[in-house]
Amino acid sequence: MTTDLEVATDSPYPMLSWTENEEIFSLRWRSENGVAPPKRVVVADDTLTADTAYRLASEGTGILWRGDFQNARQLLQALARRKDRPSKKSARTKNQPAPDMPQAFHLHRQAQSQRARTLGMLLIAFDADHSVPLRRAPDVRLACNEAYGKSTEPYVASLRELQGIIGAHEWRKTGIVIPALDGQRIHAHYGVFAPLRHDYLPLVAEAPLPVSLNKNSLAFDIGTGTGVLAAILAARGITHVVATDQDKRALSCARENMQRLDLGDKVKIVEADLFPEGQAALVVCNPPWVPARPSSALEYAVFDPESRMLRGFLSGLAAHLVTGGEGWLILSDFAEQLKLRTREELLAMIEAGGLKVTGRIDAKPSHDKVADENDALHAARRAEVTSLWRLAKL
């Protein structure tokens, strides 16, 4: 049984309709990443085979699950195994020359997008209070409330998105141990990039502080996210830190983390597009590292279309530094390894901002993908270096 999509005009969420037991039903479609809903929907239960489900999902048909919740989880795993299985086409072309880095990156992103789309076809209906009316379904009301906010009507979302929401809820509860904060924890909210990569945090914790902080102990953290860099700066003894972000979730997350760490009197969280008002002796920014278009809200922490945030930071930095102040740019050269940006282009941006490089501290990444030779971008990840660029006014 299938149906075409119906779009409501009085809500930001479209209406998804389907036929079940010869009766038409309609619920809102929710996707935090802005993924369009499937145009066709079938109702399925535990009798659906993984092969049939995979065929439907690959065709773009949504599968609204009415069976056991744990069986739905197992079905999603089966879909993932089928999607990740090497295709006959890839086997035929394995002896051909490897694509260059930009092409490899493009193909990798394309494969990721197609995979997410296929796995997102397994759908779950929710009651108005975020509960899932399926056998053996967990209580996801708190996790969904954190991600979606208060709900007033039933809706449909993908099981894959729900799993991400549950995972984010667990990260938020448990927190991430930050060695640069003496083992204290940072708690990431749903939709806020978690500081799981620790290679760049010691750079901020150990770089020599500018002498100008002795007279003006004020630092800015631009694009604070969870607030982890602001917390490290405060832990280093900087009296006042102003941390900015324009994302509502990030602002809430950073404020909560400062309260947990008892840094509320040292760190002020401000909503701003890049810089707050005034000048500081130290301005720190860890922008997204790859100049590419994000496909989800969370990816805005990784992908920076046309290097907009990087350019904005470098072009505005000089005006927000006191005399003798420093800007610290935390940036991986992953984009350079992918040949999406050159070192010469980066240096030109720095110079165009009226800035000069006074020093650089490097670190090699240690995350799991560095050692994964099956990763399509392994060569770039293996060569990657993360740097703290020390910048000053010309």
Closest by CA position to 190, among listed 145, 137, 156, 153:
145
pTM listed for this prediction: 0.88
Answer whether residue 280 shows pLDDT above 60.
Answer: yes
Lowest mean pLDDT among 45-54, 167-176, 285-294: 285-294
- Residue 98: band (very low, low, confident or very high) from pLDDT cuts 50, 70, 90: low
Bigger pLDDT: 335 vs 6: 335
Give the pLDDT confidence score for residue 58 in this predicted structure: 96
Bigger pLDDT: 252 vs 299: 252
Q: Give the torsion sign (CA, 172, 233, 196, 104).
A: positive
Answer whether residue 156 shows pLDDT above 80.
Answer: yes
Kindly state the percentage of the chain with pLDDT values over 70: 91
Residue 62 CA, chain-centre distance (Å), reads 25
Give the pLDDT confidence score for residue 9 in this predicted structure: 37
Length of the chain, please? 394
d(CA 50, CA 254): 42
pLDDT tens track for 190-245: 999 999 887 899 999 999 999 999 999 999 999 999 999 999 999 999 999 999 99
Distances (CA, A) of 279 to 209, 221, 241, 283: 16, 12, 12, 9
Give the pLDDT confidence score for residue 372 in this predicted structure: 66
What are the beta bridge partners of residue 15? 6, 28
Give the pLDDT confidence score for residue 366 in this predicted structure: 74
pLDDT tens track for 54-83: 999 999 999 999 999 999 999 999 999 999
Answer whether residue 48 shows pLDDT above 50.
Answer: yes
205 CB burial (10 A radius; 0-12, 13-18, 19+): middle
Strands (E) across the chain are located at: 15-20, 23-29, 40-44, 61-65, 122-126, 155-158, 176-178, 184-186, 218-222, 240-245, 267-271, 280-285, 321-332, 355-363, 386-393
d(CA 208, CA 228): 18
pLDDT tens track for 11-47: 578 889 888 888 898 999 999 888 889 999 999 999 9
Mean pLDDT computed over every residue of the chain: 90
Closest by CA position to 226, among listed 262, 189, 173, 278:
189
pLDDT tens track for 101-129: 888 888 888 888 899 999 999 999 999 99
- Residue 92: band (very low, low, confident or very high) from pLDDT cuts 50, 70, 90: very low
**190 with 172: CB under 8 angstroms?**
yes
Answer whether residue 158 shows pLDDT above 90.
Answer: yes
Lowest mean pLDDT among 48-57, 94-103, 191-200, 286-295: 94-103
Lowest mean pLDDT among 57-71, 111-125, 291-305, 333-347: 291-305
Q: Are strands 240-245 and 218-222 parallel, antiparallel or unpaired?
A: parallel
Closest by CA position to 340, among listed 293, 278, 272:
293
All structural domains of the chain: 15-170 (no CATH), 177-393 (3.40.50.150)
Give the pLDDT confidence score for residue 106 in this predicted structure: 86
Bigger pLDDT: 291 vs 225: 225
- Residue 90: band (very low, low, confident or very high) from pLDDT cuts 50, 70, 90: low
Region 347-366 average pLDDT: 94
Kindly state the percentage of the chain with pLDDT values over 90: 72
Lowest mean pLDDT among 19-23, 58-62, 260-264, 270-274: 19-23
